[in-house]
Amino acid sequence: MHTNLPYSTPAPSRAVTIAKAALLFGLAAYFAYTIVSGSLTNYINARFAWLSYVAAILFAIGGAAALLALRGGPRTSAFGHSRTSLSMLLMLATPLVLGTLIPSRPLGVDAINGSIRVGAASYGAAEIALVSKSPLDRDILDWSRAFASEPSPSAFNGQQAKVLGFVYTEPDYPPNTFMVARFTVSCCVADASALGLPAYDASAGVLEDGTWVEVAGEFQAGDFLGQQTPVLHVAQITPVEAPAHPYLYP
Amino acid sequence: MTSSAAHPPARRWLGPAFTTALLIGIAALLLTRGDPAVTLGIFATRFLGIFIEAAPFLLLGTAVSGLLEVFVSREDIVRWLPRSRLAAPFVGAFMGFAFPVCECGVVPVARRLFTKGLPMPVGVAFLLAAPVMNPIVLVSTYIAFGFGPLLIARFAITAAVAILVGLVFALTARPEEVLLPASLAPITGGSGAKATDRPRLGPGLIRAAQFSVDETFDMGRYLVIGALLAALMQMFVTQEQLIGIGSGPVVSVIVMQAIAFVLSVCSTVDAFLALAFTGTFTVGSISAFLTFGPMIDVKSTLMFLGVFRRRAVAYLILIPFLLTLLAGVWLNLLLR
């Protein structure tokens, strides 16, 4: 074994090594839990879930490597400052503490904070996929893409739709009007953005904000906050459980 | 070398300063929004989202770093790389095809390569270019945008900026003025295995894993602070508020650079996010998002502080910012 390492630091104490191993196994367990419990999709696009499998495995390997270090004698380190300090341990413990103590919830109505995109939203070439999708199978994102690809809102008059989302209202919305909203997530919730379809329900009052609903009806072009856009005229609205995957993925 | 030598006095206040700023920010957030429990929950979700997305890439980067430490010698690095100062950044800009890592993984890899004697300008160009100039990002950008102006612009601008910054550093600074002492190659010997004295595979892998653990804790703290800061900024400023600032040929580019900096989205997947902006923003601004973001964002800035001196970090942010801004504005005017 080579012995020419330039910087030699004292071996970390047994307690620090055990703390490192415990933290790494803890993080491995946390990642595994988010995968098994399904809460992973509260944080990232389901498309990238496999990366969390990789993380869980690598954290566990790191924990095992840290434990193996307990068997060995004094070890040299490549960096003079790479001896693990208390601040490093605390920092790596932060996600574990927050992830464990704060119940996992997807972003919902409270996270919108007035920032919601209405109607048309462009997602580039993805509009092509719409051609093969039946209107009743389209979600809010699909409809937004369809609106973006068609300049005239009245082109959707009479089209039937059934969408899932949560209720969102603002004080300046017209009477009996609300948004059926979802968050879109491209990568992780860092880029989450709320997207809504205006809906009009003449027959009843609007449900409480944040209630997950399935809304069926047909589109009619109308004015919504000064903008001409297809508005979903509600024929049936049913409160439902929040879906397992709450976000839409562009 | 002692710990204090690795962290000179001027740097000692950095950790407490960031921690204090974070705590003040979180306190302000909780006091100025409605229900503190709900606000804390949203903040935690945003933070964990960034951490969960970035952690695998950090771990892959530190794993590569550990393998380099044990299995690659300084002699190997010297043998593989050009001697010419001016040619070096060109090699650095394309090293991502050998080490396909994103902006989280590239920092530990670059730091380890520096300790192996990687010439500073090569490492600087590698650090800036690798998050884009690698096969994974090439494919993801192609899937998102197809072969067209944005794909070409992303790779051409990234390579040009990385090479230019590498050249600037090569011509104007010495390694010891740019790198922290712990990132510098020792004057004699070299970190890790000598070419003639490589460890056997099994013990070598265990040793590599143990070095990776050290690296994960060292670099991971910057990732955690960066993710906390990014989540905090997102609680105060939303994408929609930034988008609302403007859509002109210059302002739109700056806005998209700001969004890229704040969101800190991994470069391997940011092309899919950029798709969402194609109808709203100019081509130049999207290209700035796709080039500036992978080089510089909140968490990578924090991680740079573990490798470079503060003044060098300032230049590493400022020059790519200005160059990608110029490129974005030029594209906007060209494609008008």
Q: Are A182 and A167 in contact (CB under 8 A)?
A: no
Interface touch A64/B199, C-beta < 8 Å:
no
Judge whether B319 and B292 are in contact, CB under 8 Å: no
Nearest to A31 by CA among A50, A52, A62: A52
SS3 content of chain A, % helix, strand, coil (to 5): 40, 25, 35
Instruction: With beta carbons under 8 A apart, name residues in chain A contacting B224.
Output: 91-92, 94-95
Q: A33, A81, A87: best mutation site toward chain B, by most B Cβ within 10 Å?
A: A81
> Can you tell me the distance from the alpha carbon of A100 to that of B112, in angstroms, rounded to the nearest whole number?
33
Judge: B266–A187 Cβ closer than 8 Å, yes or no. yes
Alpha carbon distance A194, A109 (integer Å): 9
- The DSSP secondary structure of A83-141, one letter per residue, reads SPPHHHHHHHHHHHHHHHHSPP----GGGTTT-EEES----GGGGGGGGGS-GGG--HH
Which candidate, A68, A70, A88, A78, places its Cα nearest to that of A9?
A78
Q: What is the DSSP letter of B200?
A: P
Cβ count within 10 A of residue B196: 8
Nearest to B6 among A27, A80, A107 (CB): A80
Cβ contact, residue pair B45, A82, below 8 Å:
no
Is residue B52 a contact partner of residue A40, using CB atoms and an 8 Å limit?
yes
Determine the Cα–Cα distance for residues B147 and B157; give it in Å rounded to an integer.
Answer: 16
Q: Which residues of chain B make contact with A46, given a CB cutoff of 8 A?
A: none
Spatial distance between the Cα atoms of B242 and B237, rounded to a whole number of angstroms: 7
ipTM: 0.87
Q: What pLDDT shows up at residue A227?
A: 85
- Decide if B269 and A80 are in contact by the 8 Å CB cutoff: no
Structural contact between residues B86 and B170, judged by C-beta atoms closer than 8 angstroms: yes
Q: Closest to B191 (Cβ–Cβ): which among A6, A24, A186?
A: A6
Distance CA B321, CA B83 (A): 29
Question: Which ranges constitute the DSSP H helices of B72-119?
Answer: 74-80, 88-94, 103-115
Between the CA of residue A102 and those of A245, B45, B62, B142, what are the distances in Å? 19, 9, 29, 38
What is the domain partition of chain B in residue ranges? Answer: 11-334
Is the CATH number 2.40.50.140 carried by domain A109-239? yes
Taken as a whole, chain A contains a residue count of 250
Tokens of A22: 């415990």
pLDDT tens by residue, chain B, 336 residues? 334 444 544 456 666 777 787 888 888 888 887 788 889 999 999 999 989 988 998 898 888 888 888 888 777 777 777 777 778 889 889 988 888 777 778 888 888 888 888 888 999 999 999 999 988 888 878 877 778 888 999 999 999 999 999 999 988 888 888 888 877 766 544 455 555 566 788 888 988 898 889 889 988 888 888 888 888 887 887 767 777 776 788 998 998 898 888 877 778 778 877 876 766 678 899 999 999 999 998 888 888 988 899 999 999 999 999 999 999 999 999 877
Supply the mean pLDDT for chain A: 84
Q: What is the chain A residue with the closest CA to B279?
A: A122
Distance, in Å, from the CA atom of B48 to the CA atom of B65, rounded to the nearest integer, reads: 25
Of B154, B155, B88, residue with least CA distance to B118: B88
Task: At A46, list the tokens.
Answer: 């389901």
Record: contact B53-A34, CB cut-off 8 A? no
Neighbours of B20 (CB within 10 A): 11
Instruction: Kindly list the domain boundaries of chain A, sorted by start residue.
Output: 14-101, 109-239
CB B232, CB B26: distance < 8 Å: yes
Determine the residue type at B13: W
A187 to B228: CB separation less than 8 angstroms, yes or no? no
